[in-house]
A and B are shown apart, each in its own frame.
Chain A
Amino acid sequence: MKNLLKSTLAIVAVLVAFTSCNNGAKSGKNSGALANNVAEKVYVAPGEHDEFYAFISGGFSGQLSVYGLPSGRLFKVIPVFSQDAEKAYGYNEETKPMLNTSHGFVPWDDAHHPDISQTKGVIDGRWVFINGNNTPRIAKIDLSTFETTEIIEIPNSAGNHSSSFVTENTEYVVAGTRFSVPIPQKDMPINEYKGNFKGSLTFISVDSEHGNMDIKFQLIMPGFDYDLSHPGRGKSHGWFFFSTYNTEEASTLMEVNASQNDKDFIAAVNWKKIEEYVNNGGGTMMTTNYAHNVYDESTHMATSTMKKEVLTVNPLDVPGAVYLMPTPKSPHGCDVDPTGEYIVGSGKLSANLTVHSFTKMLAAIENESFAGDAYGIPIIEFEASLAGVVEQPGLGPLHTEFDDKGNAYTTFFISSEVVKWKVGTWEVLDRQPCYYSVGHLMIPGGNSQKPFGKYVVAMNKITKDRYLPTGPEVTQSAQLYDISGDKMELLLDFPTIGEPHYAAGCPADLIKPRSKKIFNLEDNKHPYAAKSEADTKVVRDGKTVHIYMTTIRSHFAPDNIEGIKVGDKVYFHVTNLEQDYDVPHGISMIGANTSELLIMPGQTETFLWEPKQEGVWPFYCTDFCSALHQEMQGYVRVSAANANTPLKWSLGEDIE
C-alpha cells in the first residue's frame, strides 16, 4: 500500500516536471514530443516504409544521401564525385573512369544541388542530377539502381554552382558557372578581369529515353558570378532564370568589392530561342577538352571519352534571348513558383524579398522598358518586371520553395528561420526558428508544377549544441517541419552527411516499384565475366594475370590459385552468381592497394592486386552472406618472380 502511494507520487512528480518543462520551452507551446503527438508524426513503425524519398546533397563529401521522410532515416549514401571504399566506387577498375576529368583523375568534389527529372512539369522519379562544384561536373544517378551512371565535365566553367536544375520535360539540365574566367583559359593578369573574363551557362540535353547527356550549347555571358538558377515552368516554360552577384566584376576582397552595386541581376534566358538558333546552325564551335564518363549497366563498366569541342553562343547574336532583371543586393536563390508566373530573388544582403512577374517581364520586353544594357544585354527597368516585395520578412534570405496551396517558404540565414508567406499578397503568415543558420530548404516536388506540401526540410549550416558533441567537428543537420496546417510545426532534427546544400524529394511510390532487385546474370556483358563456375579460369599474359572468379553462398571459384609471381599485375574479375534480392558478396585480398569489392547479384567487378612478397596469401568475403560466410575464403600462392610454379586453380578438389 505504502509502495503504491510512493510510486503514484513519483509518477505525478515526473509528469509535473515534464509539463512544466514544456511550458518553459523557448519555442512555445507547440514544441516537445510530450506536448502533443509530434513524435507520432515522424514515427515509422519497424518494417514500415516512409512516405517520401529525400535526396540530400552530401556537400563536401561529394556524395548524395538518400533519406526517408518523415522518419529522417538514412538509407544509402550514393557515391557520385568521391571515391567510396565501401562500395569500391572509384577504386574498382569498372568505376575509376567515372572520376576522370580533363585534369586527370579527381577523386573528390563538392556536391550541391540535386534535382529529380520531370515530365510535363511533374517529378517523374527516373533520374536525379547533381552538380560537382569544384571541378565542374554534372552527374546523373539512375533511380532504378541508385547508382551514378553518367558524369559530364563542364568546360569553360569554374565553381559550377548555379546547377544542376532541369527543365520541365528534362529537355535540359543546366549548369551555370559561379566564377567567371578567361574563355578560353589563358595566361593573363588577374586584375584585367573586368570586361575580359566571361561566365558560361551550359545547357546539357538529356535523351528522353535513356537520359544520355550531351552539351547542346554554352551561352557565354558577361563576367559576373552566376549563383543559382531555376527553370521557368507552365507559362514560362522555355525560359531559365539565373541569379548573379559581383556585377561589379571584382576579383579581390570580394566581400566588400562584390557588394558595391545596389542591385545585381536575375538573367532571364530564352533557351527555346537559342535552341532554335543552334538547330539552324548558329553558334561557334570552340576547341576545348572535357571528359564524358558513362557507366554501362550491361557491361557493368564505365568508359571515359575526352571531348574536344563545344558549341558556344554569344548572347548578342540571338536578339531577344537574354535579358537582365535588376534584383537588390547580391541575390542568391532564384526560385520560380509552381505556376511559372513568379520569380523570387533572395537578395542575401537585402532585408526584402524581390518577386518578379513573368507576365510583366514579357510586357517590359515588348514595350522595351529598358534601363540600359550590360555589354549589349538589355537591362529591364526594375519596376517594370516587379510583381511585389515581401517587406522585412527576416535577415539574409537565401532560398524559397512552394507548397500546393499558394504559399512560399523562404529561409533566412542570418535570422535563422523559415518564413511562410503568401504568393500574390506578399504577406508574412508564419515563422519558425531553425537551429541554426539555415541554408536551403526542400518541399518534395518543390521545384515543379506539383509540390507535395506536407513537409519542408530545412538544411542548416551550423549545428552547435543540438546533438551530443563529437569534438570540434559536429554533425551536419537538417530539420523537418510539418507544413500541412496554417502554422508550421518543427517535428524532427536529423543528422546528415557532409554539408547539406539542397535536396530533392518525391513520393516514395514514384520510385519504389522501379527499384531494381538484381542484375540479370544472362544480361551481363562484362568482358571478364564468368557466368558459371565452368567459365572460371586464370589466364596469364606476360606479367598480367586475369582471374575469372565467381561467388555464390558460400564459396569462391576458384579458391586455391597457384603460379602467381612477385611483380605480377593480378586482376580479380569477380562475378556474383546469385540471382536473389539482397545477396551481395564482397572480396578483399591481403595487401591489395585498393578497396574491397562489393558485388551485387549478377554483377562483375574487378580489383587489381600487385603481390610484392612470396607466400600464401588469403582473400575472403567481406559482406556477411550466409551462416557459412566465415568459411568463404581462399588462398593465392605467390612464388618468386623467376620461379617455375605452374599456373593452377581449383575449388574443392578433395571433396568426397
Chain B
Amino acid sequence: MKTTLKLITILFATLLMSCGGKEEKKKEGFSYEKKTTTEQPVKKVEIIPASKKVDLTNKGVGPITSISLSTDINQEIATHGADVFKKMCTACHRPDKKFIGPAPTGILERRTPEWVMNMILDPEGMVKNDPLAKELLIEFNGSPMANQNLTEEEARAVLEYFRTL
C-alpha cells in the first residue's frame, strides 16, 4: 500500500516535471517545497524564526558579560565600526537585507548588546552554548558565522555602527 502510494507520487512528480519543461518558456525549472518568505506560513502554529525572536535579557556566552551604552551614539566610533563591518562582515551580511546571514538593522531591538558582541567575538562558542545562536545557525542553512578575529574594540565599534542602522 505504502509503496503504491510512493510510486504514484513519483509518477505524478515526474509528470509535473516533464509538463513544466514543455510549457511556456517562462516556467523554467521546477519548485519543490521552496522556502517562501518568512511572513507567509504563520497561519497554523505560531513558529517564530530565531531571527525574529526578541530576547533582551540574554547576554549570550562569551567574553562580554556587561556593557553599557550611552544614550547618544558616538559617531566617530560608529564610522570606524562601519569601516570594520565593510571589510570584515559584508561577505555575509548586508546592512538592511538578509544575505548569507541576517541583516543587522534593528538588531538591538531584539538582542542585548552583549549578545551581539559575543556573537561577533566567539561565534563557535555561541553556537555551542547559546540556544538562540544555535537556532539561528539552523535557520540560516547551517551556514556558520565566521570568526573574523575582531578585537574587542573593533566589535564594540561595529555594535555602535549597528545603532545607526
Contacts and interface: CB of A to CB of B under 8 A. Distances in A.
Given A518-B149, A579-B148, A656-B98, A554 B143 contact: yes
A553 B143 CA distance: 7
Interface in B80-113: 86-88, 90-92, 97-100
B87 A626 contact: no
A604 to B, nearest CB: 15
Given A518-B149, A579-B149, A580-B149, A534 B142 contact: no
Contact of A555 (B88, B98, B100, B148): B100
Contact of B37 (A577, A580, A626, A656): A656
Contacts of A408: none
A531 B148 CA distance: 13
B87 A580 contact: no
25 contacts: A518-B149, A521-B88, A522-B87, A531-B87, A532-B86, A532-B88, A532-B91, A533-B90, A533-B91, A534-B86, A534-B90, A552-B92, A557-B91, A578-B146, A579-B88, A579-B148, A579-B150, A580-B147, A580-B148, A583-B146, A626-B142, A626-B143, A628-B143, A652-B99, A656-B37
Contacts, number: 55
Contacts of A577: 88, 91
Interface string A475-513: 000000000000000000000000000000000000000
A655 B148 CA distance: 24
A506 to B, nearest CB: 29
Contacts of A518: 149
A44 to B, nearest CB: 25
B92 A579 contact: no
A522 B151 CA distance: 13
Chain B interface mostly: loop
A463 interface: no
Interface in B33-63: 37
Instruction: Give the interface SS of chain A, mostly helix, strand, loop or mixed.
Output: loop
Contacts of A95: none
A553 B146 CA distance: 7
B20 interface: no
**Which size class do A's interface residues fall under?**
20 to 34
B68 interface: no
B22 to A, nearest CB: 23
Contact of B99 (A531, A553, A655): A655
A550 interface: yes
Contacts of B37: 656
Given A579-B147, A580-B147, A627 B99 contact: no
Interface in B107-152: 141-144, 146-150
Closest 5 CB pairs of A and B: A627-B142, A579-B149, A580-B147, A552-B91, A579-B148
A489 B64 CA distance: 53
A583 B149 CA distance: 12
A532 B82 CA distance: 13
Contacts of A522: 87
Nearest to B89: A532
Contacts of A555: 91, 100
A519 to B, nearest CB: 11
B29 to A, nearest CB: 12
Interface residues of B, number: 20
A533 B99 CA distance: 13
B164 to A, nearest CB: 19
Interface in A145-180: none
Contacts of B141: 628
Given A532-B86, A533-B91, A534-B86, A553 B144 contact: yes
Most B C-beta atoms less than 10 A away, residue of A522, A553, A583, A652: A553
B95 to A, nearest CB: 13
Given A534-B86, A555-B91, A580-B149, 7 more contacts: A518-B149, A532-B90, A532-B91, A578-B146, A626-B143, A628-B142, A656-B97
B119 to A, nearest CB: 14
A623 B32 CA distance: 30
Contacts of B98: 655-656
Contact of B144 (A532, A534, A626): A626
A521 B146 contact: no
Contacts of B91: 532-533, 550, 552, 555, 557, 577
Nearest to B37: A656
A409 B106 CA distance: 71
Most central of B91, B92, B98, B100 by chain A CB within 10 Å: B91
Contacts of B90: 532-534
A580 B142 contact: no
A656 B149 CA distance: 29
Nearest to B36: A656
A451 B86 CA distance: 51
B141 to A, nearest CB: 6
B83 to A, nearest CB: 10
Contacts of B143: 553-554, 626-628
A270 B141 CA distance: 68
A439 B40 CA distance: 74
A583 B124 CA distance: 13
B1 to A, nearest CB: 36
A655 B141 CA distance: 14
Nearest to A631: B141
A48 to B, nearest CB: 22
A554 B8 CA distance: 37
Interface string A525-543: 0000001111000000000
A656 B150 CA distance: 29
Given A552-B92, A579-B147, A521 B87 contact: yes
Nearest to A550: B91
Interface in A609-640: 626-628
Given A555-B100, A628-B141, A628-B143, A532 B87 contact: yes
A653 to B, nearest CB: 12
Contacts of A583: 146
A553 B144 CA distance: 7
A550 B88 CA distance: 12
Interface string A552-582: 1111010000000000000000000111100
A371 to B, nearest CB: 66
Given A532-B91, A550-B91, A579-B88, A627 B144 contact: yes
Nearest to B35: A656
Interface in A453-467: none
A522 B146 CA distance: 17
A552 B86 contact: no
**Chain B CB within 10 Å, residue with most, of A518, A531, A580:** A580
A550 B37 CA distance: 28
